[in-house]
Amino acid sequence: MTRRGRQTRGSDSRSDKSHLQQSRSRPHSPESSRYYVFWKPYDVLSQFSPAIGSTADTLASFIEHKEVYPVGRLDRDSEGLLILSDDGLFQHKLCDPRFGHWRTYWVQVERTPDEKALSQLRRGVHIRGQDTRPAHVERLTTPPDLPARFPPIRARKSVETTWLKLSLTEGMNRQVRRMTAAVGFPTLRLIRAEIALTDTVKLTLDQLAPGELRSFSKTELAGVREVKQTQPTRTTRRPTKRDRL
């Protein structure tokens, strides 16, 4: 595991997305490529280049590896598991919703969703002009063991909050937040906790703290091989620019 202190942001003008697209045309094997799991803290951009007009930290404030790029994204106000790699084919097959890789989130919402709201989330809700795919949703009886967020969430003292565990196979822009808002329970805090490479190999935040990075294990590298050999499980919708891991 590695962790860097914050540093002054440079003038890195690389396009993370274009580098990964270019790497899809080059052969990569798990032995020759690099794969990392990073716990992205709150208020950090999922990119190495600073955004114009933004004061937010970037991945460059934490990660020294300059030839890897985010596999998918997490919004600035979201936290948790972010994959970094130089393997474009792996990125493509993991992010494309046609391959059906589950990603799991811990979601803190205002108030307590009833069964009607949970059923709506499971079936899919209508957001941004389309219906979301069916999701796995459960209400947690015990909050996940997480470090405090800084700054803390803006919770109202008179309103209770509830933690949900929500799993999706697609990643539209701000999808989880839009889904919970659509059923009347706004998201206050959002952490990506797990990404399934295969049915048996899953990446988690275990043994990491916010801002820390680790390499894939041998088992996880075997999962990478399986990901790259898979064929699409769905053909109903091709990915769009709004799709993200």
> Which sequence positions are flagged as catalytic?
75
Query: Residue 24 and residue 19: Cα distance in Å, rounded?
Result: 9
- Ramachandran bin of 145, using left for φ above 0, alpha for ψ from -120 to 50, beta for the remaining angles: beta
Query: Residue 106 and residue 129: Cα distance in Å, rounded?
Result: 25
Long-range contacts of 118-124 (CB under 8 A, 24+ apart): 118/164, 120/182, 120/183, 121/166, 121/179, 121/180, 121/183
Query: Residue 153 and residue 27: Cα distance in Å, rounded?
Result: 44
Four-point Cα dihedral 92, 96, 100, 103, nearest 10: 80
41 touches 79 (CB < 8 A)? yes
Cβ–Cβ contacts within 10 Å for residue 228, how many?
Answer: 16
Establish whether the linkage from the previous residue to 151 is cis, with ω within 30° of 0: yes
Residues 6+ apart with CB under 8 A from 170: 97, 132, 133, 243
- The label of the residue with tokens 């969430």 reads 153
Question: Nearest to residue 183, comparing CAs of 139, 220, 141, 218?
Answer: 139
